[in-house]
Amino acid sequence: MMAANAHAPSGAPALEVIGYSKRFGSFAALDDVSMKVRSGSFHVLLGENGAGKSTLVKCIMGYYTPDDGQIMINNREVEIGHPRQAHAHGLGMVYQHFTLVPNMTVLENFLLSRPHVPAVVDWTRERAELEAFLAGMPFTVPLDSAVADLAAGEKQKAEILRQLYLQCRFIILDEPTSVLTPGEADEVLGTIKRMTRRGLITVLMITHKFREVNAFADAVTVLRRGRLAGAGKVADLDNAAMAEMMIGHRDVKQAVDRVARAAGTPVLEIDDLRATDDSGQEAVDSLSLTVHAGEIVGIAGVSGNGQRELIEVLGGQRHAVGGVVRVHGEAYGATRAEMLRHKVACLPEEPLRNACVGHMSVAENMAFRRFDQPPNASGGIWLRRAPMRAAARALIERYRVKTRSPDSPIASLSGGNVQRAVLARELSGDVDLLIVANPCFGLDFGAVAEIRAQIVAARNRGVAVLLVSEDLDEILELADRIAVIFEGRLRHETASCGADIGVIGRAMAGH
Amino acid sequence: MQTDLGLWAVPLAMLAGAIRVSTPFIFVSLGECLTERSGRINLGLEGTLVMGAMSAYGVALQTGSPWAGVLVAGLIGLLLGGLHAAICNLPRVNDIATGIALMLAATGLAFFLGKPLVQPKAPNLSAVELGWWSDIPQVRSALQVNWLFVLGIVLAPALWWALRKTRWGLVVRLAGESVDAARAMGVSVAWVRLLATAAGGFLSGIGGAFLSLYYPGSWNEGLSSGQGLMAVALVIFARWNPLRCLWASLLFGAAGAISPALQSVGVTQGYYLFGAAPYVLTLAIMIITCSPERSLRGAPGELGVTR
């Protein structure tokens, strides 16, 4: 059924959106937004979380119907009420999370995404045809691997190749590099850039990273709170101008200044640690690391290189296969009693899922560490709610958690506030060791600055901090020492002042 | 006249058991395999099995044709599977709870309607003699093979092929792996699951017909004794692969034949203990394959308990 794409434009399409508005109840997600993407250009859509970027592209792709406004492709007004219509016009989208089916091979995935699948599939012929298609493409993917076995960069390439395979010539990329190493990101974006140069495709990319805008984009459209905040050619704009369009004028709390101090005694010592992932594959491989009192050790790396398993072992959510973890020189198995005795606090990634019970109240969630100790409990059996709520109120006040009351379920809070609530819980007592993973993932500017300030403040108080983050900028900003994890091993270790970003980036890619 | 085979009688009886007892396991596990590959769990297949056995027996008794009984049993299974799928397609319905409810309902209904069928004798399905070459009567009786067993043996590779090489099979797998991807392809997930569950029910119904019309070959309330539920566990053991479902079914059939086999060579102690072999096997398999640290490889992505 190639007829589905019969009237798709042959070259790279131009796209124009005029006066798009979209309301959800009383909330205006998009308010009179216009955007012009020229044929064969590399256009970037910038904006903070919640600025309306995804609403805009979902309207373009037909997942939402805008309340008002028009869309033009190659200067002709078109109607897009359904994703299949968008597809028929040659519009394709690559999502931030992968949409390929993990338990199927790349070949099966490609075939299934075609509008027409034959009743009985001749795999030999299909493979030959797909290989011929890939031969004409700037990059390739292994056809017979299950998608689950591909590295993140390969998955991203497969997603992009699939859109090209489906004859899409206008491709929307939603933060395509968030899961890639800097090297992989440059390779993928560089190739896409060359394809736009040759007039093969038009690209609209959502991103937060100015570096990518400067290196690859031709033009930029900036959204702020659902409105158009600015647009222009990248050549005419500098980073300061784009940043101001993006965040407007606002007071961002500065990160707490780090106090210069010599590293103290070793608090956390990891020796030759090994752990497996959910499928039984080795995920953490002979990892050794020491964190001293009063320093932040940052572990940089692209997601999926064993960070999750490492944090789970340290947080008591996973058994190590081998190796020793010591805290204060004593063997540490991450039991509740040991965490209490050694004053270990843990802020895992996605705290709502990993460190909270969504249906329980904010006060109850904040009491998880000490609900069974006086004054919250008498005799270790009878719980007292009043002291728990009082303690929660104090923490809510001090860490500025925005919640209607201490009794609201914690799942009703926004991401940043859940993060603050859990951080408040973990830092409220006396802490000697803080383990943090991706603390600012998906938060807005204000929340990011505040959470980072809390972490640095803890370090200044003499807490040993192990920070695992996929955001290299975060590591560079916070850490005293940096180690790079790749395929479960630490590859490169350096003090953060004087760190060579090129070396770190190459270590992240395994070089 | 029986020939004394000594201890050889045990493996022979287990082979006979594998051939005879495994057929319902094959049909139910292939049915459940198909259903689960589409992303739905049907625990009601135990009820479907019993209902199929009862209706097959009743129809064979009325019409005199056991094959008419097999067909009706399949259609009853189709209806029950379709009902399960239709209920599960409603929003916020849990397929585990629905499956258990339907299992109890179908079993109860079969017992109620099957009361008058306990006494009379219905015509049984005929068997193919594959043991003609042997003079030993035990070998001849062990190699009596029912056509349904042959059908099951053919069905397993056919299903395996269909899931890999046909559009129909790929769509079923897609619905089981990722609802979003299936929707993006324009596939109605609800419809695919309805058809897959109904087809799975059809196979289970036929498995039930085998119970009442061939082995043991009569209708009573203890006929199935949980074989439908064991077949569901067997699908997990077989990692959702139809070919492995076939092997696992044969293994379970052989395990079920251990205790009669031992009895035939004079080991009468612990008859009921050895009778529990298939259940112990089920339990052992579940313990071996489950781990809090690993997820099962091959499990369809949309298969879940909390939906």
> Is the pLDDT reported for residue A445 higher than 80?
no
Place of tokens 């900028």: A473
Task: Spell out a b/e string for A78-111, using b for 16 or more CB atoms within 10 Å of the CB, else e.
Answer: eebeebeebbbbbbbbbeeebbbbebbbbbbbbb
Q: Please judge whether B301 and A123 are an interchain contact, meaning their C-beta atoms are less than 8 angstroms apart.
A: no
In A251-340, which ranges are E strands?
Answer: 266-276, 282-292, 296-300, 322-327, 330-331
In whole angstroms, what is the distance from residue B277 CA to residue B251 CA? 11
The domain in which residue A313 lies consists of: 264-343+432-455+462-511
User: Distance between CA A430 and CA A344 in Å, rounded?
Assistant: 9
Tell whether A65 and A160 lie within a shared domain.
yes
Residues A487 and A410 both lie in one domain: no
Give the model's pLDDT for residue A314: 94
Query: For residue B193, what pLDDT is reported?
Result: 95
Question: What is the per-residue pLDDT for B292?
Answer: 62
pLDDT above 70: percentage of residues in chain B? 95
pLDDT of residue A252: 39
Specify whether A417 is located in the same domain as A337: no
In this model, does residue A446 exceed pLDDT 80? no
The chain B residue lying nearest A126, using CA atoms, is B165
| Mean of pLDDT values over B64-78 | 95
Cβ(A162)–Cβ(A100) below 8 Å: yes
Return d(Cα B254, Cα B250) in angstroms, integer: 6
- The whole-angstrom separation of Cα A8 and Cα A73 is 10
Task: Please list every residue in chain B whose beta carbon sits closer than 8 Å to the beta carbon of residue A280.
Answer: 293-294
pLDDT tier, A7 (very low <50, low <70, confident <90, very high otherwise): very low
- A129 and A206 in one domain? yes
Q: How far is CA B42 from CA A239, B155, B162, B175, B187, in A?
A: 57, 20, 21, 15, 21
pLDDT > 70 in chain A, percent: 93
| Phi, psi (deg, nearest 5) at residue B133 | -75, -15
Give B293's contacts in chain A (Cβ within 8 Å).
Answer: 276, 278, 280, 318-319
Residues of B in contact with A108 (CB under 8 A): 170
Shortest Cα distance from B161 to chain A (angstroms)?
A: 10
- A228 domain residue, yes or no: yes
Out of B167, B178, B297, closest to residue A118 by CB: B167
Kindly report which listed range (A58-62, A239-243, A403-407) carries the lowest average pLDDT score.
Answer: A239-243
Same-domain pairing of A127 and A197:
yes
Q: How far apart are CA A452 and CA A443, in angstroms?
A: 11
Strand pairing partners for A24? A27
Residues on chain B touching A120 (C-beta within 8 angstroms):
165-167
- Residue that wins the pLDDT comparison between B203 and A48: B203
Do A337 and A368 have their domain in common?
Answer: no
- Rounded to an integer, the average pLDDT of A32-53 is 88
**More confident position, B299 or A423:** A423
Q: What is the mean pLDDT of residues A196-211?
A: 87
More confident residue, A266 or A207: A266
Q: Is the pLDDT of residue B177 over 50?
A: yes
A1 and B CB contact within 8 Å: no
The SS3 of residue A449 is: helix
Mean pLDDT score of chain B: 88
- Examine the domain organization and report whether A423 and A436 are in the same domain: no
- Cβ–Cβ gap A100/B181 under 8 Å: yes
Does A8 score more than 60 pLDDT?
no
Q: Nearest by CB to B184, which of A83, A104, A111?
A: A83
CA distance A87 to B46: 45
Kindly report the pTM of this predicted structure: 0.74
Chain B CB contacts of A113 below 8 Å: 181, 184-185
When mean pLDDT is compared across A49-53, B184-188, B219-223, the lowest value belongs to A49-53
Of A103, A278, A279, the CB nearest to B301: A103
Q: Chain B residue closest to A280 (CA)?
A: B294
Query: Cβ contacts (< 8 Å) between B177 and chain A: which residues?
Result: 101-104
Q: What is the tally of structural domains in chain A?
A: 3
How many residue pairs bridge chain A and chain B with CB atoms within 8 Å of each other? 60
Mean pLDDT within B234-252 = 90
A379: distance to nearest CA of chain B, Å?
33
Average pLDDT rounded to a whole number, residues B24-36? 95
Q: What is the pLDDT of residue B103?
A: 95
Residue with tokens 């270590």: A507
The domain B6-304 is placed in CATH, from the list 3.40.1350, 1.10.20, 3.30.460, 1.10.3470, at 1.10.3470
Residue of chain B with shortest Cα separation from A61: B184
The CA distance from A421 to A256, in Å, is 19
Q: What is the pLDDT of residues A407-444, one digit of tens each?
A: 999 988 877 789 889 989 998 888 999 999 988 876 76
- Which residues does A444 contact at the CB level (< 8 Å), separation at least 6? A48, A49, A50, A416
In a shared domain, residues A478 and A373: no
Cα A431 from Cα A131, distance rounded (Å) = 57
Task: Please tell me which residue of chain A has the smallest CA distance to B161.
Answer: A120
- Is A121 in CB contact (< 8 Å) with chain B? yes
For residue A254, is pLDDT > 50?
A: no
| Partners of residue B163 in chain A, C-beta under 8 Å | none
Residue A5 lies in a domain: no
Confidence of residue A253 (pLDDT cuts 50, 70, 90): very low
Does A186 lie in the same domain as A325?
no
- Give B297's pLDDT tier (boundaries 50, 70, 90): low
Tens digit of each residue's pLDDT (9 = 90 or more) over A255-306: 557 777 777 899 999 999 999 887 677 889 999 999 999 999 999 887 778 8
- Quote the pLDDT of residue A471: 77
B181 vs A contacts (CB less than 8 Å): 99-101, 112-113
Percent of chain A with pLDDT over 90: 41
Q: Please tell me which residue of chain B has the smallest CA distance to A122.
A: B165
- Same domain membership, residue A369 and residue A328: no
Measured CA to CA, the distance from residue A228 to residue A46 in angstroms comes to 10
pLDDT at residue B124 is higher than 90: no
Nearest-CA neighbor of A317 among A343, A336, A299? A336
Q: For chain A, what is the mean pLDDT?
A: 86
Please report the DSSP string for A467-501 in residue order.
EEES-HHHHHHH-SEEEEEETTEEEEEEESTT--H
Same domain, A147 and A277: no
Q: With the CA atoms of A497, A502, A505 and A506 taken in that order, what torsion angle do they form, in degrees rounded to the nearest 10?
A: -130
**Residue A2 pLDDT more than 70?**
no
pLDDT of residue A50: 67
- Shared domain for A338 and A356, answered yes or no, is no
Least confident window among A244-258, A435-449, B184-198: A244-258
CATH code of the domain containing A206: 3.40.50.300
User: Which long-range contacts (C-beta less than 8 Å, at least 24 apart) are formed by B156-159?
Assistant: B156/B26, B156/B30, B156/B242, B156/B243, B156/B245, B156/B246, B157/B242, B157/B243, B159/B30, B159/B33, B159/B34, B159/B242
Is residue A321 situated within a structural domain? yes
Structure tokens at B221: 């309330």
Burial B222-257 (b: 16+ CB within 10 A, else e): ebbbebbbbbbbbbbbbebbbebbbebbbbbbbbbb
pLDDT exceeds 80 at position B291 = no
pLDDT at A370: 85
List pLDDT tens digits, range A68-101. 999 999 999 999 988 888 988 999 998 877 788 8
pLDDT of A339 strictly over 80: yes
Q: Is residue A252 part of a domain?
A: no
pLDDT at A251: 45
Confidence at residue B216, expressed as pLDDT on a 0 to 100 scale:
86
Place of tokens 């209708």: B219
For B159-175, write each residue's pLDDT tens digit.
999 999 999 999 999 99
